[in-house]
Amino acid sequence: MPSNEQRRAAAQRKLERQLANRAARARKRKQLTIAGSVLGVVVLVAAGVGVYFLTKGDDDKSKDAALAGSVNCTYNASRQPAAKPVNKPRTDGIKTTGGDAKLSVSMDTSAGPIGLTLNNAKAPCTVNSFASLVGQKYFDGTTCHRMTAGEGLKVLQCGDPTGTGTGGPGYTFDDEYPANQFPPGDPSAQMPIPYKRGVVAMANGGPSTNGSQFFLVYGDSQLPPAYTIFGTVDEPGLATLDKIAAAGQDNSGGQGDGKPNVPVEIKNIQID
């Protein structure tokens, strides 16, 4: 029969395990909760555009299979109404190759220009949605409401007309690259991977809750592959992001997480 001292030691070990597990869950929540979603949970929601990988300029060594020349997309009505009146994107015959496979986009912001190259070869439904929102001037006059500056997560989040992190376009759509590289239930899908400086990705509130919010990575970051990558930022755009980051954020969302100290307004976005 265990002695009182043995019971106390066992209880202490159990408490230590509980505290360690709690800390691990807290770290995971902080990492995953990148921005407000249409579900009211804060996670990154952005227009995902497939970049061949997570890094800029690498050769494709991933296990992904090539998409067909065109795909059909599904955009489901969300429980939350659109933050700004907008029509759903078209759904049929979305090109993944040819002239429509890459889009050059210019963001004119109050902090300076940010050029994007979107590649729908890996995330055609995300790019299609983003292009539709751009064409309807959904992003014009909106602010980038969140910036993170913590270890392992350096992003500027935009795309919510309400500026609160909870707004969306009134519809959601499925995750694409790199989330679609993992079979259902694969534990690897929970493991952080590099989201390199210059990546543009979607924010979301959980699997397949993409809407309009997106984030721009200004410093190498680590995230689970749950956020659709849809493009890259050009060099002048990275200089603009560096200027925004240098001004810091107000820690209103916790240490290293808050609104940019210098407000960032998207004056307009245009497809070149």
Residues 5 and 87 in one domain: no
What is the pLDDT, as a whole number, of residue 227? Answer: 97
Count of residues in the chain = 272
Residues 1 and 84 in one domain: no
How confident is residue 41, by pLDDT bands cut at 50, 70 and 90? very low
Candidates 262, 226, 229; CA nearest to 244 is 262
Residues 217 and 148 in one domain: yes
Residues 24 and 52 in one domain: no
Distance, CA of 217 to CA of 269 (rounded, Å): 18
How confident is residue 8, by pLDDT bands cut at 50, 70 and 90? low
pLDDT at position 173 over 80: yes
What is the pLDDT, as a whole number, of residue 119? Answer: 85
Range of the domain at 231: 34-271
User: Dihedral of CA 258/262/263/267: which sign?
Assistant: negative
- For residues 86-99, b (16+ Cβ closer than 10 Å) or e, as one string? bebbeeeebbbeee
- Chain mean pLDDT for the chain: 82
**Residue 28 or residue 183, greater confidence:** 183
Task: Return the minimum-mean-pLDDT range out of 59-63, 134-138, 150-154, 267-271.
Answer: 59-63
Residues 238 and 178 in one domain: yes
Residues 67 and 199 in one domain: yes
- In which order are the strands placed within the sheet that holds 102-109? 142-143, 265-271, 102-109, 112-119, 229-233, 199-202, 214-219, 154-158, 146-148, 257-258
When pLDDT is averaged across residues 49-54 and rounded to a whole number, the result is 31
pTM exceeding 0.85: no
Cβ-contact 152, 172 below 8 angstroms: no
Residues 122 and 3 in one domain: no
- The 10s digit of each residue's pLDDT in 82-108 is 999 999 999 999 988 755 567 899 999
* Alpha helix stretches (DSSP H) within the chain: 4-32, 124-135, 235-246
How confident is residue 213, by pLDDT bands cut at 50, 70 and 90? very high
CATH of the domain at 177: 2.40.100.10
Residues 199 and 168 in one domain: yes
Strand partners, 107: 114, 269
Task: Return the minimum-mean-pLDDT range out of 48-57, 122-131, 254-263.
Answer: 48-57
Cβ-contact 246, 54 below 8 angstroms: no
Distance, CA of 166 to CA of 151 (rounded, Å): 24
Residues 109 and 158 in one domain: yes
Strand runs (DSSP E) across 192-238, as ranges? 193-195, 199-202, 214-219, 221-223, 229-233
Q: How many domains does the chain have?
A: 2
* Ramachandran angles phi, psi of 126, nearest 5°: -70, -45
Residues 76 and 121 in one domain: yes
Residues 3 and 122 in one domain: no
Residues 121 and 181 in one domain: yes
Token reading at 107:
């963001």
Q: Provide DSSP, 109-150.
A: ETTEEEEEEEETTT-HHHHHHHHHHHHTTSSTTEE--EEE-B
